[in-house]
């Protein structure tokens, strides 16, 4: 879409200067188009970087997970920490090491 706005800006700049004979108008329109290109580039970089990073599950899903694990805690299973991350679309993946009341560990 940036290419379309760049083309529209270039054509609008030429037409506006030709119609009004205001020479300063062309660089102003070019700056607006340049700002649009920079904003689009920054947005693309953020989305690309975000796709490379791991994220925790949303708080609501983590609350459901903790509520699901609570009965096990009451039976003596010690879960020192829970690390989550989304995997696939709408499912999620959870990995947790736990220590049982008898000192053994498990996944």
* pLDDT one-digit tens code per residue, 36-71: 999 999 999 998 888 788 778 888 888 888 898 889
| 33 and 71 fall within a common domain | no
State residue 1's pLDDT score. 80
State residue 35's pLDDT score. 93
C-alpha to C-alpha distance for 99 and 78, rounded to whole angstroms: 5
C-alpha to C-alpha distance for 19 and 25, rounded to whole angstroms: 11
Mean pLDDT, residues 11-29 taken together: 89
pTM above 0.85, yes or no: no
Alpha-carbon distance values, 58 to 40, 48, 65 (Å): 27, 20, 11
| 48 and 67 fall within a common domain | no
* pLDDT one-digit tens code per residue, 64-85: 888 988 898 888 888 888 888 7
Domain that includes residue 63, residue range: 59-106
| 41 and 64 fall within a common domain | no
C-alpha to C-alpha distance for 35 and 55, rounded to whole angstroms: 30
Of 10, 26, 52, the last residue of a domain is 52
């Amino acid at each position: 879409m940036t290419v379309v706005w760049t083309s529209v800006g270039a054509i609008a700049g030429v037409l506006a200067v030709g119609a009004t004979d205001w020479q300063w108008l062309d660089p102003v329109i070019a700056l607006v188009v340049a700002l649009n290109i920079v904003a689009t580039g920054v947005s693309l970089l953020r989305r690309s970087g975000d796709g490379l990073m791991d994220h925790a599950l949303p708080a609501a899903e983590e609350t459901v997970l903790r509520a699901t694990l609570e009965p096990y805690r009451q039976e003596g299973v010690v879960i020192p920490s829970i690390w989550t991350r989304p995997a696939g679309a709408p499912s999620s993946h959870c990995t947790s090491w736990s220590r049982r009341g008898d000192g053994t560990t498990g996944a």
